[in-house]
Amino acid sequence: MTVQSSTSCSVKNPYSVAPVAADRSQPDPEELMSRDQIESLQFERLRWTLHYAYENVPAYKELYDEAGVHPGDFKELDDLKVFPYTDKEFLRKAYPFKADAVPMSEIRRIHASSGTTGQPTVVTYTENDLQTWATLVARCFRFSGIKPGDKVHNAYGYGLFTGGLGAHYGAERLGCAVIPMSGGQTEKQVQMIKDFEPQAILSTPTYLLTIADGFRKLGVDPKETSLRTAILGAEPWTAEMRHEIEQTFGTLKACDIYGLSEVMGPGVAGESFESQDGSHIWEDHFRPEIIDPFDDSIMPLGHPGELVFTALTKEALPIIRYRTHDLTRLLPGTARPGHRRMGKITGRSDDMIILRGVNLFPTQVEELALRHPELSPHFALEITRPHRMDEMTVRIERREDVTLEQAEDAAKRLQHDIKTKIGSSCRIEVLDPDVLPRSMGKIRRIYDNRPKNTES
């Protein structure tokens, strides 16, 4: 490509298409829309999306033809419910690029979700998709208290994972100086934070705990760092974990950011630093639904269930009624009343432990464990089947400043809490500090050591 020089000698790219607001510290107009305005925008965008997917992605045409529905049936928002759900399997079958609505010449980025089992899920982006993504991530960061001009330490992993690059371009779009650390190399992270004095950090909640440990190992109290804002996501975390992190870093505010690769990546929803009351879903680009994961029926506002998303503006990879497996509920918007909020995610339906008929998520253990000041946030759950019955062992580290006896006393109380509040019996093993493997990104909480290929 030939680059023409500008006569005004401006450093700005004259060919840039990025719609950056003149004052990046101000909300986008769509952010401030009323519920009615959002819903009429959603209706227009949904109608476009349904036709666009049907005409350009054979898998959607096949799905809708088989179900006997047609984009022309969409006459009001409520009609979305007649279109079948999609899921990871739908995308897997299209591996790697058969779900794309545009030719490869229009694709500018390819990411893939790790996929704990089998084939990864591939997600693609056009130039416009990347612009939307950066704009929405920037919106989340501003909403969570980051300001143009701030230095932002990005500890989300760079690479095929959408966290690193998604957060990176969002921070640049907001007008921040990004420090592209990626995950891992904790000592170096600590050094960079000490030397560069960023105001904000982007990380998974559990990796931020690892970084806090890194500071303590150097003899530095995390409260002495420059960090004032942490934007945390990519894994479930509880109000208790927020409290833990905010206490550890002193004046820092920890806010949530939510997203998933298939729907875009980070930035589908973000949290206000003022109200810290759950992430608002950016409904100018995504229409959420909550469904009953067992009978697939749609749940009313406030009821828990599985989150389902329809992306309203995606060009490369249309996503319609995609089942996320994330369990939460929808709530009315507060700081941005036109957009609905999501409650904290309890977990993924596929991460649910069923222990002798009782459903259990690691977040429930996190919530209860962190109420005992003798116990640390570092724990893992092991499921075994020594005889015919499943058993769970909670392995949890004690805090540095308590004795083993004190921690074991607290563990007995935790065991009682788990029995009475969740309904499961378990064993608790108290470990010394720094024994469990530390998170470098998304933490692994569950170790399922039951014999394979037997009935559950």
Q: Which is nearer to ligand DLL, 64 or 161 (CB)?
A: 161
**CB of residue 442 to ligand DLL, shortest distance in Å:** 7
Nearest to 112 by CA among 121, 101, 125: 121
**CB of residue 204 to ligand DLL, shortest distance in Å:** 7
**CB of residue 55 to ligand DLL, shortest distance in Å:** 27
Q: Which is nearer to ligand DLL, 54 or 379 (CB)?
A: 379
Q: Which is nearer to ligand DLL, 74 or 203 (CB)?
A: 203
**CB of residue 317 to ligand DLL, shortest distance in Å:** 13
Angle CA 432–433–439, to nearest 5:
125
Instruction: Using DSSP, state whether 154 is helix, strand or coil.
Output: strand
Integer Cα distance of 254 and 205 in angstroms: 9
**CB of residue 144 to ligand DLL, shortest distance in Å:** 12
In one-letter notation, the amino acid at residue 446 is I
Question: In this structure, are residues 304 and 285 in contact, taking their beta carbons and an 8 Å threshold?
Answer: no
Q: Which is nearer to ligand DLL, 38 or 91 (CB)?
A: 91
Instruction: Using DSSP, state whether 356 is helix, strand or coil.
Output: coil
**CB of residue 308 to ligand DLL, shortest distance in Å:** 12
Q: Which is nearer to ligand DLL, 114 or 403 (CB)?
A: 114
Nearest to 134 by CA among 297, 323, 266, 317: 266
DSSP string, 267-284: EEEE--TTT--SPEE-TT
Would you say how long the chain is, in residues? Answer: 456
Q: What are phi and psi of 327, to 5 degrees?
A: -105, 120
Which residues here bind ligand DLL, judged by CB under 6 A? 113, 156, 161-163, 233-236, 256-261, 265-266, 324, 326, 345, 348
Radius of gyration over every alpha carbon of the chain, rounded to an integer in angstroms: 23
DSSP string, 58-96: HHHHHHHHHHT--GGG--SGGGGGGSPPB-HHHHHHTTT
- Residue number of the CB closest to ligand DLL reads 233
Q: Which is nearer to ligand DLL, 235 or 244 (CB)?
A: 235
Proportion of the chain in helix, strand, coil states, percent, rounded to 5: 35, 25, 45
**CB of residue 95 to ligand DLL, shortest distance in Å:** 16
Nearest to 132 by CA among 317, 346, 376, 300: 317
**CB of residue 213 to ligand DLL, shortest distance in Å:** 21
Tokens found for residue 66: 């088989």
